[in-house]
């Protein structure tokens, strides 16, 4: 069984190799299919978080998979499905994707003559398979099919809904996109200045991630600016995937930070875990505004109808 350090180093190596090959494992091609998007467990429907979306996206790209749905061999089997036999060109142990589960552990230790609780996370490996790698009626319902419509114009209404629900002070004008922490506002160029228009939402999601930092208690202590740029970049992509916003493919907007990210990952096996976990929390925090608005609207509806 691999040690905790070996698990972290293996995952970091996989992500470093992707970045060195000009691949951004947190970005996903846009599709209108309900079965494409942020990676989720096929049984619980819960989105994967932390470093796992990156690992699953790398596996998807490597094997040409499309579905967002994943599950363990046993989970697929319990639903009457069968994982396809490993192709001959795939090395043993590489047909499934190895992800990690972080289990919180509390241990009582003695410090300065007093017993205190020491909390840490224990990593465990799990292997999951994509719905595209599985046969069976349940798995087929979670796959992307050729007869699904194509050429559909993106619907930006869900993105607009989230932006409005946050209540963030978003101002338009000028040539730069940035968040001003001193006055707590976001500055954006006008939407018509962006081509394609999806890049406007990507940029605004990025700044909303920075807007979320003080609200989530993130501080600059012990972290450089590049770290928070990585968190905001990943959170922006997670949001775009969740809300159906087309994403760009290139590294040109991140070249200034890429060397710093790579150096930090190579020097610290915890780095990508911390950044990806923060990005998942940021995306979920921003998505929660839409859920809260829906809940408020739902609770108000009976009163409106009865008025």
- Concatenate the DSSP letters of all residues of 142-180 into one string: TS--TTS--SPPP--HHHHHHHHHHT--EEE-SS--EEE
Q: What pLDDT does 303 receive?
A: 34
Q: Is residue 225 part of a domain?
A: yes
| Band of residue 166 on the pLDDT scale cut at 50, 70, 90 | very high
Going by DSSP bridges, is the β-strand pair 97-111/40-41 parallel, antiparallel, or unpaired?
unpaired
Higher pLDDT, 243 or 33: 243
Question: How would residue 29 be classed by pLDDT, with cut points 50, 70 and 90?
Answer: low
- Give the other-Cβ count within 10 Å of 90's Cβ: 13
Confidence of residue 218 (pLDDT cuts 50, 70, 90): confident
Q: Pick the range with the lowest mean pLDDT from 8-12, 29-33, 113-117, 234-238.
A: 29-33
Average pLDDT (265-290) is 90
- Residue 301 is predicted with a pLDDT of 36
CA 47, CA 173: separation in Å to the nearest integer? 36
**pLDDT confidence of residue 185:** 97
- The pLDDT of residue 291 is above 80: no
Structural domain of residue 91, as residue ranges?
Answer: 31-153
- Look at phi and psi of residue 81 and say left if phi exceeds 0, alpha if psi is from -120 to 50, else beta: beta
Would you state the pLDDT for residue 249? Answer: 56
Count of other CB atoms within 10 angstroms of residue 259: 11
Alpha-carbon dihedral angle through residues 112, 116, 117, 118, given to the nearest 10 degrees: 0
Express each pLDDT in 141-164 by its tens digit: 999 887 665 556 778 899 999 999
Q: Does any domain span residue 9? A: no
Predicted pLDDT of residue 298: 40
Single residue among 153, 178, 203 that ends a domain in this structure = 153
pLDDT at 306 over 50: no
**Domain edge (last residue) among 127, 153, 179:** 153
pLDDT band at 74 (very low <50, low <70, confident <90, very high): very high
Q: Give domain status of residue 144, yes or no.
A: yes
Higher pLDDT, 277 or 83: 83
Query: Which residues, 6 or more positions from 53, have their beta carbon under 8 angstroms from its beta carbon?
Result: 26, 38, 39, 47, 238, 276, 280
Q: Is 298 a member of any domain?
A: yes
Q: What mean pLDDT do residues 132-136 have?
A: 97
- Does residue 192 sit within a domain? yes
Q: Are 26 and 150 in contact (CB under 8 A)?
A: no
Average pLDDT, the chain: 83
Percent of the chain with pLDDT over 90: 40
Q: 181 and 212: one domain?
A: yes
pLDDT, mean of residues 49-71? 90
- Quick check: is 4 in a domain? no
Q: What is the rounded average pLDDT of the residues 278-292?
A: 90
pLDDT higher at 294 or 223: 223
CB of 212 closer than 8 Å to CB of 179: no
Number of independent structural domains in the chain: 2
Query: Within a domain: residue 19?
Result: no
């Amino acid at each position: 069984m691999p040690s905790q350090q070996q698990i972290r180093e293996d995952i970091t190596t996989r992500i470093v190799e992707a970045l060195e090959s000009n691949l951004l494992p947190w970005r996903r091609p846009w599709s209108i299919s309900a079965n494409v998007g942020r990676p989720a467990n096929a049984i619980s429907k819960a989105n994967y978080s932390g470093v796992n979306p990156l690992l699953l996206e790398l596996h998807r790209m490597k094997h040409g998979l499309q579905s967002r749905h994943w599950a363990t061999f046993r989970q697929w089997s319990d639903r009457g499905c069968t994982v396809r036999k490993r192709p001959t060109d795939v090395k043993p142990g590489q047909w499934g994707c190895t992800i990690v589960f972080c289990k919180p552990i509390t241990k009582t230790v003695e410090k300065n003559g007093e017993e205190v609780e020491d909390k840490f996370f224990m990593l465990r490996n799990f292997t999951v398979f994509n719905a595209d790698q599985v046969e069976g009626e349940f798995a087929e319902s979670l796959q992307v099919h050729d007869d699904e419509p194509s050429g559909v114009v993106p619907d930006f209404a869900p993105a607009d809904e989230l932006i409005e629900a946050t209540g963030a002070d978003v101002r338009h004008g000028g040539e730069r996109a940035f968040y001003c922490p001193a006055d707590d506002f976001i500055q954006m160029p006008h939407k018509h200045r962006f081509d394609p228009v999806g890049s406007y939402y990507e940029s605004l999601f990025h700044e909303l991630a920075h807007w979320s930092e003080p609200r989530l208690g993130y501080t600059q202590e012990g972290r450089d600016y590049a770290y928070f740029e990585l968190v905001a970049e990943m959170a922006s992509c997670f949001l775009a995937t969740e809300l159906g916003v087309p994403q760009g493919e290139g590294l040109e907007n991140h070249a200034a930070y890429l060397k710093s990210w790579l150096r930090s990952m190579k020097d610290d096996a915890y780095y990508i875990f911390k950044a990806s976990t923060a990005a998942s929390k940021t995306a979920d925090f921003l998505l929660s505004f839409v859920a809260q608005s829906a809940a408020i609207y739902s609770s108000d509806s009976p009163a409106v109808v009865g008025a």
